[in-house]
Amino acid sequence: MHSSDLAFDQRHIWHPYTSLTSPLPTYAVASADGVYLNLHSGEKLIDGMSSWWSTIHGYNHPELNAAAHRQIDTMAHVMFGGITHTPAIELCKRLVKLTPEPLDAVFLADSGSIAVEVAIKMALQFQVSRGKTNKNKLVTIRQGYHGDTFAAMSVCDPVNGMHELFTGVLPQHVFAPAPQIKPDEEWFETDISALAKIISEQHENLAALILEPIVQGAGGMRFYHPEYLRQARKLCDKYDLLLIADEIATGFGRTGKLFACEHADICPDILCVGKALTGGYMTLAATLTTRHVADTIGGGPGGGNLMHGPTFMGNPLACAVACASLDIIAKGDWHQQVAEISAQLKAELEPCRTSVHVADVRVFGAIGVIEMQKPINVAAAQKQFVAAGVWIRPFGKLLYIMPPYIIEPLQLAKLTKAICTYCQNPV
């Protein structure tokens, strides 16, 4: 890649969560295979991010490549309005089979944020359809993150969710304190008492509770006790709220269960999935709900129609690759892979706790998190990590990794060593 291309990129192209006036440095990737990102400048980096949780099977996977090649020779895309096709049908069959039995109605979206938008729309339309027009607010927990579109932003943490600038514009929903008890700690009912109080007092105006089950992602990379989720399900049942589980980051094995809700043995009324759905090959997401919710909406005003239809909804190419990705998941190798990654992360990141620069070390499933005492200089940290042959993208005070499931122990050790080296002397 010519230096003029990088200069053009820096001058004209917005990258995620950065400024076009003073952008963070970018690194040009020429190709990717397995767990490696191969830079134009010659470096070969072990990817600790799975391209933001998505590339669980690694890059350039032969089965996913083959599925994409087969499908693109048939049709890359057709509209989903008034048309259907085998890849979409086969994908939805797999999703209905993989998810809890009550979830049998599938809306195919084109990104995780849109899946959340659709879930919120479903919940509000469900309440309108049964004459509960006063139930038009959502309740959620702080430290959450659900995406960057407007309805999704409105249920992100007002401060840590990155959208504080839009506070006066976004719909005003109800926030409960974030859970504090970690998965391996003793459970106390006091952890959910604030949420219980809010729901008991405001349930007549609440349509749904939306949360990320067990693992809160970009809002703080926090893990909480499964009993909190179990009790939240009971509160929704008692006070007539729908429960929306945002499993866009946690779905398809990342936490050690196929879906994080399984840690609490509960089923949501609405489930959002995305990211790893296609194995990181292209953007696709889905919102699943129960027959009861679907039928209630179907019997409501406006002809019972759910008025949402992304242009690339049900994209055949994405659906075909997603089917292949879920076929790999169905083989079950991820169980052992995630368990081994988790054990290695716990063993190799725990020594970081002794550093005066580290506030906390936490691991859950194939997710490792180091919380620093002070905000991280992202540009300087990434330069150090690239020099060490790894790709890690910090944010705020957090260093975290969620590597592809196929990573080998020596490759993972290179990631953890780079993190531990940084923690001893942050740049």
Q: 299-357, pLDDT tens digit by residue?
A: 999 889 999 999 999 999 999 999 999 999 999 999 999 999 999 999 999 999 999 99
pLDDT for 160: 67
pLDDT for 161: 58
pTM value is 0.97
Q: Is 215 helix (H, G, I), strand (E, B) or coil?
A: strand
Cite the active site residues: 17, 145, 246, 275
pLDDT for 166: 83
Contact yes or no for 180/195 (Cβ under 8 A): no
| Amino acid identity, position 78 | V
pLDDT for 162: 65
Pairing mode, strands 242-246 and 137-141: unpaired
Averages of pLDDT over runs of 10 residues in the chain (427 residues) are 91 93 94 98 97 98 98 98 98 98 97 98 97 97 94 87 75 95 97 98 98 96 98 98 98 98 98 98 98 97 92 98 98 98 98 97 98 96 97 96 98 98 93
The span from the CA of 387 to the CA of 231, in Å, is: 46
∠ Cα 113 117 123 (to 5°): 140
The string of DSSP codes covering 326-381 is HHHHHH-HHHHHHHHHHHHHHHHHGGGGGSTTEEEEEEETTEEEEEESS---HHHH
